[in-house]
Amino acid sequence: MTVRPGGPARTLLARSVGCTLVAGAVCVVPATVSTGRQGLLSALVGVGLVLGFLLVGQVPVGQAARGRSRLGAALLVALYVTRVVLLLVAFRLVVDGDEVDREVLGLTVIGTALGWTAGTVWSALRWRPMVVEPEAPERSEQR
């Protein structure tokens, strides 16, 4: 039997977070230049909302990957509903304030979500899970 170790599972998440932060920085710079402090605040709120939403979503995935599929499924449903409700409340509170530029917030959310997606795809394409290759059974010579 041959066992080849896979890449660490953290690498999957690290690439997604890294790409999200890069996309967030790309959004923060023009937002700050174009609308000043309000743009900076709006872009930072957008990056925070996306990272929070997507990182909390990894909890049930991690549980399922550890073999706790029932717990993972229960967490998936509970956390998804909770995240969506909290995200809507956060958007409502943020959008009602005068300190946040709605366009900058929306574009930042879109840009950072695309960054997360790109990081996830990149990780999935480069990830090498552990592979166990059983040896072929020995053939007995029978005549």
In a domain, 19, yes or no: yes
Residue 108 pLDDT level (bands cut at 50, 70, 90):
very high
Q: Which domain holds residue 105?
A: 8-121
Residue 142 pLDDT level (bands cut at 50, 70, 90):
low
In a domain, 138, yes or no: no
Is the pTM value of this prediction over 0.75?
no
Q: Does residue 4 surpass a pLDDT of 80?
A: no
Polymer length in residues for the chain: 143
In a domain, 136, yes or no: no
In a domain, 135, yes or no: no
What's the whole-number mean pLDDT along residues 3-9? 52
In a domain, 132, yes or no: no
In a domain, 52, yes or no: yes
pLDDT for 14: 84
Question: DSSP code of 99?
Answer: S
Q: Does residue 25 surpass a pLDDT of 90?
A: yes
φ, ψ of residue 26 in degrees (nearest 5) = -65, -30
In a domain, 41, yes or no: yes
Output the average pLDDT for the chain. 80
Q: pLDDT (tens digit, 9 = 90+) per residue, 65-84?
A: 667 777 777 777 788 888 88
Q: Which helix (H) or strand (E) holds 4?
A: strand 2-4
In a domain, 58, yes or no: yes
What's the whole-number mean pLDDT along residues 7-30? 83
pLDDT for 128: 65
Q: Residue 31's CB: how many other CB atoms inside 10 A?
A: 25
Q: Give how many domains the chain has, as a whole number.
A: 1
Identify the three-state secondary structure at position 36: coil
